[in-house]
Chains A and B, each alone.
Chain A
């Protein structure tokens, strides 16, 4: 269905080609997962399938990419509209119209499909993806998972043979991700659509994949059955890492496969891992915090205490009030009732410059804080803002993420590097409490691992850390305590193991495999076996 023949793609100004001499074939009806570290060329590979690379993005392509017999050299992306459906990373940015039904019809309108056919296909697609009750809703009011399904539906109505998805579940909470994945697998099984998915959160997709394309980052592409490729692949989901550790063969890809092989391992492991819980004094205490936007109550009388040296994970559905709570705790966001005390001060009552010395917050879009042309300028500005000695921010940045050149533009940094830069900017003010709003979206496994170590380091210095995230694996590895929010209320608060092990949505893979033993991460298992 999709054939890459000796494809080399290079961008102007780059020292090495992004993809070099790639020969890949994806047969019809397969679900193909593309993995690799950030910057390894996943987006380039996906874009090349319908000709966006190089027709839209620029760059040079040699070799040949052909899809369903059409060569991307001879046809522009718009001529692939009825062959390849593409859904980008942020579905909202790709929406052209403003209601669900019109968005589903848009591609067909461009193709000149007859009215009655359009009507029929829209109805079919609404049912296929389970979004029929959303048909009249404005797109902006949908939740992330709903938007993602509408975006898939909007390309599906043209009846493409190939579906290309760039990180379809990265921004979603576990349940919404399940919905989207169920829709995707249904397309593969029932309609025979060939699906190509790039996804950092491999653990969610790999069990459904027929083929894995691994991009090591040197321009080459490894293609094969998932179990084969994962045997040696440096990026792997926890279930695979556990399989490697325990020496299971064949390598399990799903929790179910792993659980069937796990009985011997379970009997070898001690009852409970050694957990060193040490946490310091209460550094922030919030009582009866209420945040409301008009009639919508985002946070409903929440009590929360943060302890120094502790990493707290804030979990919950999209829209459950996580961000609102963080902003209210920092003092920059609205807070209609309740008290927040850091020592004897309320950060909301202080000037912004003073508040950030008590509580630092890294927002969901860290780049909102960056506006200068170079990393060095941002660091200098941060020093000036925080009345720190010159070079303090740069030193912090080097300790967080070494090797970022001074003259780089902040926009050219990778997600992980940009996050480190913003974190450094906020840490220069030396706040005792650091709040991080969804820092892990867009980070690959290695960046996440580094970031996790960095967070533990900050906690070890005696800071209280709060991380709001959907990433259960990250939570399992990094946090001491988990608070789950639903509809603005705290529904669970306790040590990580207690909260996540029993939860069907929030349990990490290792916990599901080894349940009832309370192990959360592969590292904990390795530690116990040693």
Chain B
């Protein structure tokens, strides 16, 4: 395959598919498999840009999540479970804190419960991290519908301001030593904050002037009516999508909150984007195209999620290993195959182009 960057949307759909699949199970074997799949694809298809190297930070964050879940269970969640591994001295709490217990006996079920829960969340976080590593977040913003262009532009500017701000904080802090840097507390803060803020203000004025003279906002003269309608459609649609996704992911939510609301929200939002985008004669330089590999990659992610959904309807026990009584998690073929489907993009996606 000719090396090129894949459409960021495809990577995001794939990653969201994996994350959705992870949200459907607490089986540590399956979760570990999902983690392995995400890591495998990232290792094969990421570039060498800074955001691509951030993947290990997400893995680290996942580890912190698992660890803190387990520690929390030890501190607060004592009591449930038969198989007591060890007993910590319990700290007596006053009457009004009844129901909360600090330390005490630590059971295997309790630890495993925390571990499973934490691992599920960590896997979802790592999946999103994979999307971030594989797709340039700024290219993703370029792919937003033109009705959202202004928001996208603001986000891009904000993203570039953050490193500049850090840079000027470091510079001013270093410069402060030149004056002795003897002040403490509020005075010291002021000696840093004032120069940094004036610097940031100067820069943002320069940027605004540059954007203005380069034609930004040239086409923003629309009438009020259509603008309001577009805004209403987009915001209503996005709210609908949020509710729909919640309904779909939360197994206990009523059925009608899932598919129908999601579809309705999508329709509204798309109508808004089309209406808003029609009036904006703005073009995109070298837009990412959506071709067969994109479709395949997205299908792999969505496929994984679908298989796990189907399994949860047919054979839920596999996905949620029992803690009471404590049993060894089973390794079933169908969901495992479904997860393995998610590894296919490592081959299906075109390799990342070499950057010089």
Chain A contacts to B: CB under 8 angstroms: 50, 52, 55-57, 76-82, 84-86, 88-90, 93-98, 101-102, 105-115, 118-119, 122, 133, 136, 140, 154-155, 158, 327, 330, 332-333, 352-353, 355-356, 360-363, 365, 367-372, 382, 385-386, 411, 425-426, 429
Known A94-B207, A368-B171, A411-B198; contact A78-B217, beta-carbon cutoff 8 A: yes
Q: Which of B163, B174, B179, B198 touches A425 (beta carbons < 8 Å)? A: B179
Smallest CB separation, A48 vs chain B (Å): 12
In the complex formed, the residue of A with least CB distance to B208 is A56
Q: Which of B57-65, B189-197, B343-351 contacts A (4 or more CB under 8 A)?
A: B189-197
Smallest CB separation, A373 vs chain B (Å): 9
Smallest CB separation, B175 vs chain A (Å): 4
Query: Are A81 and B218 in contact, CB atoms less than 8 angstroms apart?
Result: yes
Q: Which of A98, A108, A113 touches B160 (beta carbons < 8 Å)? A: A98
Among A79, A90, A96, A425, the one with the most B-chain Cβ atoms within 10 Å of its Cβ is A96
Query: Are B212 and A113 in contact, CB atoms less than 8 angstroms apart?
Result: no
Among B153, B160, B190, B283, the one with the most A-chain Cβ atoms within 10 Å of its Cβ is B283
Interface string of B192-235 (1 = CB under 8 A from A): 10110011001100111111111111110000000000000000
Query: Are A352 and B180 in contact, CB atoms less than 8 angstroms apart?
Result: yes
Q: Which of B176, B199, B207, B283 touches A118 (beta carbons < 8 Å)? A: B283
B285 within 8 A of A: yes
**Within B169-193, which residues are at the interface with A (CB < 8 Å)?**
171-172, 174-182, 190-192
> Can you pick out 30 interface pairs between chain A and chain B where the beta carbons lie within 8 Å of each other?
A56-B209, A80-B213, A81-B218, A84-B213, A85-B213, A90-B206, A94-B206, A96-B153, A96-B156, A96-B211, A105-B285, A108-B283, A110-B214, A110-B215, A110-B218, A118-B283, A133-B356, A136-B355, A332-B177, A352-B180, A353-B180, A361-B178, A362-B178, A365-B171, A367-B199, A370-B195, A382-B179, A385-B179, A386-B180, A425-B179
Smallest CB separation, B257 vs chain A (Å): 40
B281 within 8 A of A: yes
Query: Are A77 and B212 in contact, CB atoms less than 8 angstroms apart?
Result: yes
Query: Are A371 and B190 in contact, CB atoms less than 8 angstroms apart?
Result: yes
Query: Are A360 and B213 in contact, CB atoms less than 8 angstroms apart?
Result: no
Known A107-B214, A352-B181; contact A93-B283, beta-carbon cutoff 8 A: no
Q: Tell me, in angstroms, the Cα distance from A470 to B124 when the chains sit together.
A: 53
Known A118-B285, A136-B356; contact A77-B194, beta-carbon cutoff 8 A: no
In the complex formed, the residue of B with least CB distance to A104 is B285
Query: Are B194 and A109 in contact, CB atoms less than 8 angstroms apart?
Result: no
In the complex formed, the residue of B with least CB distance to A426 is B178
Query: Are B287 and A352 in contact, CB atoms less than 8 angstroms apart?
Result: no
Smallest CB separation, B218 vs chain A (Å): 4
Query: Are B286 and A78 in contact, CB atoms less than 8 angstroms apart?
Result: no
Residues in A neighbouring B216, C-beta threshold 8 A: 78, 96, 110
3 shortest interchain CB distances as A-B pairs: A81-B215, A94-B210, A105-B285
Residues in A neighbouring B182, C-beta threshold 8 A: 352-353, 385
Query: Are B213 and A81 in contact, CB atoms less than 8 angstroms apart?
Result: yes
Interface string of B306-346 (1 = CB under 8 A from A): 00000000000000000000000000000000000000000
Q: Tell me, in angstroms, the Cα distance from A174 to B203 when the chains sit together.
A: 26
B157 within 8 A of A: yes
In the complex formed, the residue of A with least CB distance to B159 is A98
* Category for how many chain B residues contact A: 35 or more
B97 within 8 A of A: no
B138 within 8 A of A: yes
Chain B contacts to A: CB under 8 angstroms: 138, 153, 156-157, 160, 163, 171-172, 174-182, 190-192, 194-195, 198-199, 202-203, 206-219, 281-287, 355-356
Smallest CB separation, A382 vs chain B (Å): 7
Q: Tell me, in angstroms, the Cα distance from A89 to B205 when the chains sit together.
A: 12
Query: Are A110 and B282 in contact, CB atoms less than 8 angstroms apart?
Result: yes
Query: Are A93 and B203 in contact, CB atoms less than 8 angstroms apart?
Result: yes
Q: Tell me, in angstroms, the Cα distance from A85 to B212 when the chains sit together.
A: 11
Query: Are A93 and B218 in contact, CB atoms less than 8 angstroms apart?
Result: no
Known A108-B285, A368-B195; contact A363-B178, beta-carbon cutoff 8 A: yes
Query: Are B210 and A385 in contact, CB atoms less than 8 angstroms apart?
Result: no
Known A118-B283, A353-B180; contact A111-B171, beta-carbon cutoff 8 A: no
In the complex formed, the residue of B with least CB distance to A119 is B286
Smallest CB separation, A160 vs chain B (Å): 10
Known A360-B178, A370-B195; contact A78-B285, beta-carbon cutoff 8 A: no
Q: Tell me, in angstroms, the Cα distance from A385 to B194 when the chains sit together.
A: 18
Query: Are A330 and B178 in contact, CB atoms less than 8 angstroms apart?
Result: yes
Residues in B neighbouring A109, C-beta threshold 8 A: 282-285
Residues in B neighbouring A360, C-beta threshold 8 A: 178
Q: Tell me, in angstroms, the Cα distance from A333 to B213 when the chains sit together.
A: 39
Residues in B neighbouring A111, C-beta threshold 8 A: 215, 218
Residues in B neighbouring A154, C-beta threshold 8 A: 214
In the complex formed, the residue of B with least CB distance to A115 is B283
Query: Are A88 and B179 in contact, CB atoms less than 8 angstroms apart?
Result: no
Q: Which of B179, B191, B194, B207 touches A93 (beta carbons < 8 Å)? A: B207
Q: Which of B179, B206, B218 touches A369 (beta carbons < 8 Å)? A: B179
Known A333-B174, A369-B175; contact A96-B208, beta-carbon cutoff 8 A: no
Query: Are B178 and A52 in contact, CB atoms less than 8 angstroms apart?
Result: no
Among A94, A95, A158, the one with the most B-chain Cβ atoms within 10 Å of its Cβ is A94
Smallest CB separation, A210 vs chain B (Å): 24
Q: Tell me, in angstroms, the Cα distance from A327 to B175 when the chains sit together.
A: 10
Q: Tell me, in angstroms, the Cα distance from A370 to B172 when the chains sit together.
A: 10
Q: Which of A78, A110, A367, A369 touches B178 (beta carbons < 8 Å)? A: A369
Among B160, B178, B198, B219, the one with the most A-chain Cβ atoms within 10 Å of its Cβ is B178
Q: Tell me, in angstroms, the Cα distance from A365 to B202 when the chains sit together.
A: 13
Residues in A neighbouring B202, C-beta threshold 8 A: 93
Residues in A neighbouring B180, C-beta threshold 8 A: 352-353, 356, 385-386, 429
In the complex formed, the residue of A with least CB distance to B218 is A78
Residues in A neighbouring B211, C-beta threshold 8 A: 96
Q: Tell me, in angstroms, the Cα distance from A385 to B355 when the chains sit together.
A: 50
Query: Are B178 and A332 in contact, CB atoms less than 8 angstroms apart?
Result: yes
Q: Which of B138, B198, B214 touches A367 (beta carbons < 8 Å)? A: B198
Among B194, B215, B284, the one with the most A-chain Cβ atoms within 10 Å of its Cβ is B215
Smallest CB separation, B78 vs chain A (Å): 47
Residues in A neighbouring B285, C-beta threshold 8 A: 101-102, 105-106, 108-109, 115, 118-119, 122
Q: Tell me, in angstroms, the Cα distance from A79 to B221 when the chains sit together.
A: 12
Residues in A neighbouring B190, C-beta threshold 8 A: 371
In the complex formed, the residue of B with least CB distance to A359 is B178
Residues in B neighbouring A89, C-beta threshold 8 A: 206
Known A50-B213, A96-B210, A363-B175; contact A112-B157, beta-carbon cutoff 8 A: no
